[in-house]
Structure 1
Amino acid sequence: MKTDVIEKKAQKVALKKPISYAILLLLVFSSAIMVVFQVFEYRHDYRELSAFTRDRDDLNAEWGRLLIEQQTFGATAQIGTRAVTQLRMYSPPAAQTVVISLPMTSEDQK
């Protein structure tokens, strides 16, 4: 009788070992798959971040060019105003304007 009980316990232990190994193996594989998925998401997000950073840098460069252009146009009006007020410069009337044109060569006519 005792031998039957011992044999049943041995059979249960023998059956529990492969099941627990299978469960642990399944957990290890699922963990590995999740690691691969997380690395994929990280690389995707990093690529997207790099694209946004490039866009930001391009927009900052364009903003700088626009500021320089704005300052240039503002300076042109200021220069014109100072030329008239301080140096008493003016645009000559049409009667005092002379237009000089160069003779056309055979290459210019083509």
Structure 2
Amino acid sequence: MEELSRQPNLLRAIAKDLWRNKQHVLLMLFAVISAFCVVWTTHHTRMFVEQRESLMMSRDDLNVEWRHLLIEQNALAEHSRVESIAKKRLGMHRPKIEEQVVITN
């Protein structure tokens, strides 16, 4: 029974001590809040850096693909290739001088 009567007195003593040192309690509370804010900010910063790196890698992959497509386009549009396809597949030929007609206004 003696222990039960001491417990409320201990709680009361802790409460009085905290009340007397309000400034210290507030400073400690602010320090804890500040620490949580630092952790939160660091976490989000790391997430954004990771996202940025991922986007930069995607950009680099797209640039490589774009360069390959440009090379392919230039190869497909090459004059000698177009001429050989026109001769083989379409049976076209260069017109002779006699077959050429000049149109003027």
Q: TM-score, length-normalised on structure 1?
A: 0.58
Matched, 1:78 2:93: yes
Matched, 1:42 2:52: yes
Deviation, 1:9, is 5.5
Deviation, 1:22, is 0.5
Q: TM-score, length-normalised on structure 2?
A: 0.61
Q: Deviations over 1:6-37 (max 9, x none)?
A: x7754221211111101001101111111111
| Distance in 2 between residues matched to 1:49 and 1:55, nearest whole Å | 10
Deviation, 1:78, is 3.3
Deviates more, 1:8-17 or 1:23-32: 8-17
Note if contact 2:18-2:25 (Cα within 8 Å) is conserved in structure 1.
no
Kindly tell me: are residues 46 and 17 of structure 1, through their superposed partners in 2, closer, same or farther at Cα, counting changes over 3 Å? same
Letter matched to residue 82 of structure 1? K
Identity %: 10
Kindly tell me: are residues 20 and 71 of structure 1, through their superposed partners in 2, closer, same or farther at Cα, counting changes over 3 Å? farther
Aligned length: 79
Kindly tell me: are residues 52 and 70 of structure 1, through their superposed partners in 2, closer, same or farther at Cα, counting changes over 3 Å? same
Deviates more, 1:41-50 or 1:66-75: 66-75
Matching residue of 2:39: 29
- Pairwise CA RMSD of aligned residues? 2.9
Deviation, 1:71, is 4.3
Stretches of structure 2 lacking an aligned partner (at least 5 in a row)? 1-16, 101-105
| Distance in 1 between residues matched to 2:18 and 2:49, nearest whole Å | 47
Matching residue of 2:103: none
User: Which structure exhibits the higher relative contact order, with contacts defined as CA atoms closer than 8 Å and separated by 6 or more residues?
Assistant: 2
